């Protein structure tokens, strides 16, 4: 093991900010920026420089007084904390509009996720080519997951089938889900689940509009 950071003692609040740091650093890197001060990063990201320094201190700092942060180094280190140096095998279950959107636009490979296959129960979609994959029937799931060491499944299926399909996939060896079905999965606690509940997000939007309007009325 290389220089190890004690990831367990990093708060979830810091963790939840890492992807955004990673995104901004990626853009700086793409623009060939070599170093940046916490002050400059603060202005770009609209968070305080002190917050940035505190957050980065969790990972041993990365910075040098009066010099700023080395963009490439910081990008790589945060990438390692995010586990992007590891390789995973991923399938998408559900080849409707959302499954297709994710297959076409998410750069899974850049994050170490190798996109290996896409499945749907709808016969009319079988054999349809999405990116460079043919949509496969659900009957292929078991052998495909086992033969290809699939450890991650993206679920873009209706909530009525998601819970059962997730349980089935866990039985075949899937270790993590990126879940877009609008339901809480019922899987053992060692299984990692990251849910994107779009309806919940829409309700938050509604709440914030409502609050703003009430403020304006006062």
Question: Where along the sequence are the contacts to a second copy (CB under 8 A)?
Answer: 7-8, 15-16, 18-20, 22-23, 45-46, 81-84, 86, 88, 96-98, 100-102, 104-108, 111-113, 151-152, 175-176, 178, 182, 184, 190, 192, 194, 196-215
Q: Name the token pair of 15.
A: 């963790």
Q: In whole angstroms, what is the distance from residue 37 CA to residue 142 CA? A: 50
CB of 125 to a second copy, least distance (A): 13
Between residues 67 and 129, which has the closer beta carbon with respect to a second copy?
129
Between residues 138 and 176, which has the closer beta carbon with respect to a second copy?
176
CA 149 vs. chain centroid, Å, equals: 20
Between residues 112 and 137, which has the closer beta carbon with respect to a second copy?
112
Residue with tokens 């990365």: 62
- 61 φ, ψ (degrees, to nearest 5): 95, -60
CB of 189 to a second copy, least distance (A): 10
Residue with tokens 């703003």: 212
CB of 56 to a second copy, least distance (A): 16
CB of 64 to a second copy, least distance (A): 26
CB of 144 to a second copy, least distance (A): 20
Between residues 7 and 164, which has the closer beta carbon with respect to a second copy?
7
CB of 24 to a second copy, least distance (A): 9
Between residues 84 and 138, which has the closer beta carbon with respect to a second copy?
84
112: left (phi over 0), alpha (psi -120 to 50) or beta: left
Between residues 61 and 83, which has the closer beta carbon with respect to a second copy?
83
Q: In whole angstroms, what is the distance from residue 188 CA to residue 102 CA? A: 26
Give the residue among 213, 157, 149, 144 at the shortest CA–CA distance from 185.
Answer: 157
Are 93 and 153 contacting, i.e. CB atoms less than 8 angstroms apart?
A: yes
Other CB atoms closer than 10 Å to residue 104's CB: what's the count?
A: 9
């Amino acid at each position: 093991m290389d220089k190890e950071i004690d990831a367990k003692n990093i708060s979830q609040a810091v963790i939840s900010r890492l992807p955004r740091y990673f995104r901004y650093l990626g853009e700086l890197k793409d623009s060939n920026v070599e170093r940046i001060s916490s002050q400059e990063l603060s202005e770009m990201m609209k968070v305080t420089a002190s917050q940035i320094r505190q957050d980065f201190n969790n990972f041993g700092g990365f910075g040098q007084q009066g010099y700023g942060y080395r963009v490439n180094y910081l990008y790589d280190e945060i990438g390692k904390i995010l586990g992007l140096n590891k390789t995973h095998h991923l399938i998408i279950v559900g080849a409707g509009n959302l499954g297709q959107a994710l297959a076409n636009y998410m750069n899974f490979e850049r994050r170490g996720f190798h996109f290996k296959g896409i499945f749907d129960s709808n016969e009319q979609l079988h054999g349809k080519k999405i990116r460079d994959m043919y949509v496969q029937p659900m009957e292929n799931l078991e052998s495909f997951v086992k033969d290809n060491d699939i450890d991650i499944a993206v679920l873009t299926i209706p909530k009525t089938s998601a819970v059962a399909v997730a349980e089935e996939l866990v039985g075949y060896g899937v270790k993590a889900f990126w879940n877009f079905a609008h339901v809480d999965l019922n899987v053992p606690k060692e299984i990692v689940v990251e849910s994107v509940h779009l309806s919940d997000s829409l309700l938050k939007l509604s709440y914030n509009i409502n609050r703003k309007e009430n403020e304006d009325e006062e």
